[in-house]
Structure 1
Amino acid sequence: MLKRTLGTTGPSVSALGLGAMGMSALYGGSDDAESTATIHAALDAGVTLIDTGDFYGMGHNELLIRDALHSSSQGRDQAVISVKFGALRDIDGGWSGYDGRPAAVKNFLAYSLNRLGTDHIDIYRIARVDPDVPIEETVGAIADQVQAGHVRHIGLSEVGADALRRAAATAPISDLQIEYSLFSRGIEAEILPTARKLGIGVTAYGVLSRGLLSGHWTRERSARSSATGDFRGMSPRFSGDNLDHNLDLVEALRKIAGAKGVTVAQAAIGWVLAQGPDIVPLVGARRRDRLTEALGALDVTFDAADLAAIESAVPPGAAAGARYPQAQMAHLDSEK
């Protein structure tokens, strides 16, 4: 397994990480047995970075990861666990903001440590900036937990360049988790250069744009998603004319990938990998076959001509629709 280091202060991790959200929430039904087998397969393949959120499935995702790690031949020590916290939920699964107060940081962390069955979390980050709490206070509270030994590294999620600078002035930051793909390149203007100037790595989620860039999504599957509790049924990029436009882009990418002898998903993941050694893509594989396909991207080498062809097929800004519904976009400090 290829390794990459998260920034100048972060840990060395596998060049691909496993995003576990879909194993518990937001993508419709899931299968715990297959999810566990997928985590085991990832660990056996040398994947070390596993990303979760304490609010994924109302804690189910952390419990799933705990059980998978404890039953794995690799064990907890191989895993670098990244946890997002701060999202406030209601009984019906609704969203009611984010809490970044220092007291809340300690509270969220205590519950995560218990659910994960571990004495430390490797990378801890608030999922979205709390607009009522300065980022310095939230980061400072996590730094206190680093000093106490309960957290190893501090991460950030979906913050803009200004908040990135302010956080880095407060404590060492290992990485910024943020959406980055052929369909979502907004970080390239200011956020990515700022992270690089500060020595902060990037863990890129959404590298397959929630399945749109996988080569497996269809109009028929999109029509079924709303009925199965899959949030993509409400996503602008998966709706109406936007979906037709975006799937046409995928077909253009499929031609480039086919000429290279790789799948659409491998081309999309490989493009992100090629954007710099400071970027670690997170793949949201929920099944072993999808994991195997994603890992194949590590064997793909793109030269300048290949990358130019990919970007010609899917130019910057070509995707139709915002990456989240409007209400969720309002929570993204990175979009302000």
Structure 2
Amino acid sequence: MAAVRKVKLGSQGLQVSVQGLGCMGMSAFYGNPKSESEMIPLIHHAIDSGITHLDTSDAYGPHTNEILIGKALKGGYREKVQLATKFGHVIREDGTRAGVCGEPAFVRAACEASLKRLDVDYIDLYYVHRIDTRVPIEATVGELKKLVEEGKVKWIGLSEASPETIRRAHAVHPITAVQLEWSLWTRDAEESVIPTCRELGIGIVAFGPLGSGFLASGPKLVENLNTTPDFDVRKANPRFQPENVQHNLKMYEQVEEMASRKGCTPSQLALAWVHHQGDDVCPIPGTTKIQNLESNIKALSVKLTSEEVAELESIANAIKGERLAPQYLALTWRFANTPPLSSWKAT
């Protein structure tokens, strides 16, 4: 299996495994939660294999994924990982959501709650999960800066943030990483968000590098979505709807054919494309199966020529449909600017 090297993420000193592990699907959004007895060994296997960048959020479960990660880090594993979690979603006692909040008091309360669930003394990388467009980003990041000064957080990140928001946040305290969806089938951040990160020396963490699983299993995933009664957020994804899915499956077939020529799997080819975008990019594919984890690590051995990269991008340009359903798309970087600090009064 390919060695998993470390890379610098951002310019403030954080080093992570060049590929991380997205932990969301273990507890939420992609069907029923998986058991701790299955997921903890998987997490240990990832760490023992060199995957040390673990990504979670208080919204996953909600809360249960952080508890799972906390349990997995017992027995000496905490010191081996770079632990990332997120805040921002307001979660009611019944587990439903009530919008997004970036108020300073909420930032602090969310951090304290995550530290308790994770049962750790500090968070390596703490993200604003979604931007509160009612609160100036300066106010949100100002409280995060205090948490850094107190040692509760080491580095600060933003998720689904617009270029303007990134710049304003970075002026308050250096932003180490911006998390965004980036894959062969989602490339809308390339025009403005990614160049902004690179200009400012901010690392890029790519979630959904396998297109929510589509670039890993194509028709099998579509069949499962159509037949399983379990809740899966992908069922509402426009790209899986009847008006788009057959077109997109043809795109998958082209990726599959190219992967066959390369002697790898479609998922390895898709991950290799993300890795070829630069050493400032760390994809965090998620999985609940050890064999898929090992397959993802093998993607690090897949080398692409510039011609092959261009061929893949030409194939992917034909994708049809928005990347998220409207209610989720409304919380993305396209709509993530916040009011000026001068107009804001704390509540």
Out of 263-272 and 301-310, give the one that drifted further: 301-310
Are the equivalent residues in 2 in contact too, given 1:10–1:175 (CA < 8 A)?
no
The one-character-per-residue Cα deviations of 1:15-71 (angstroms, maximum 9, x if unpaired) are 000000000000112232221111011000011110000121121101100111114
Residue identity over aligned pairs, in percent, reads 39
Match of 2:205 in 1: 203
Alpha-carbon separation, structure 2, partners of 1:305 and 1:24: 39
User: Is 1:296 matched with 2:298?
Assistant: yes
Match of 2:71 in 1: 67
Q: 1:16 to 1:115 in 2, by over 3 A?
A: same
Alpha-carbon separation, structure 1, partners of 2:69 and 2:8: 23
Match of 1:277 in 2: 279
User: Is 1:2 matched with 2:2?
Assistant: no
Match of 2:169 in 1: 167
Using structure 2 for the length normalisation, give the TM-score: 0.92
1:236 aligned partner, one-letter code: P
1:22 aligned partner, one-letter code: G
The one-character-per-residue Cα deviations of 1:208-254 (angstroms, maximum 9, x if unpaired) are 111111135423212024x2111111111122121212111111101
Are the equivalent residues in 2 in contact too, given 1:34–1:288 (CA < 8 A)?
no
Mind listing any 5+ residue stretches in structure 2 that lack a counterpart?
A: 337-347
1:228 aligned partner, one-letter code: D
Out of 110-119 and 239-248, give the one that drifted further: 239-248
Are the equivalent residues in 1 in contact too, given 2:225–2:232 (CA < 8 A)?
no
Describe how 1:128-277 pairs up with structure 2 within 5 A: 128-215=130-217, 217-218=219-220, 219-225=222-228, 227-277=229-279
Match of 2:59 in 1: 55
The one-character-per-residue Cα deviations of 1:132-172 (angstroms, maximum 9, x if unpaired) are 11111111110100000000000010001100110111101
2:72 aligned partner, one-letter code: A
Alpha-carbon separation, structure 2, partners of 1:20 and 1:53: 9
Match of 1:19 in 2: 22
> How far did 1:95 drift?
2.8
Mind listing any 5+ residue stretches in structure 1 that lack a counterpart?
A: none
2:325 aligned partner, one-letter code: P
Please give the secondary structure, in 1, of the residue aligned with 2:28.
Answer: coil
The one-character-per-residue Cα deviations of 1:89-124 (angstroms, maximum 9, x if unpaired) are 345543321111110111001111011111000011
User: Is 1:330 matched with 2:330?
Assistant: yes
Q: Post-superposition, which runs of at least 4 consecutive aligned residues in structure 1 deviate over 6 A?
A: none
Alpha-carbon separation, structure 2, partners of 1:19 and 1:190: 25
Please give the secondary structure, in 2, of the residue aligned with 1:283.
Answer: coil
Alpha-carbon separation, structure 1, partners of 2:253 and 2:169: 41
Alpha-carbon separation, structure 1, partners of 2:174 and 2:279: 19
> How far did 1:125 drift?
1.2
Aligned residues: 331
Please give the secondary structure, in 2, of the residue aligned with 1:122.
Answer: strand
Describe how 1:96-135 pairs up with structure 2 within 5 A: 96-135=98-137
Q: 1:335 to 1:264 in 2, by over 3 A?
A: farther
Alpha-carbon separation, structure 1, partners of 2:111 and 2:71: 18
Are the equivalent residues in 2 in contact too, given 1:271–1:307 (CA < 8 A)?
yes
Alpha-carbon separation, structure 1, partners of 2:182 and 2:334: 12
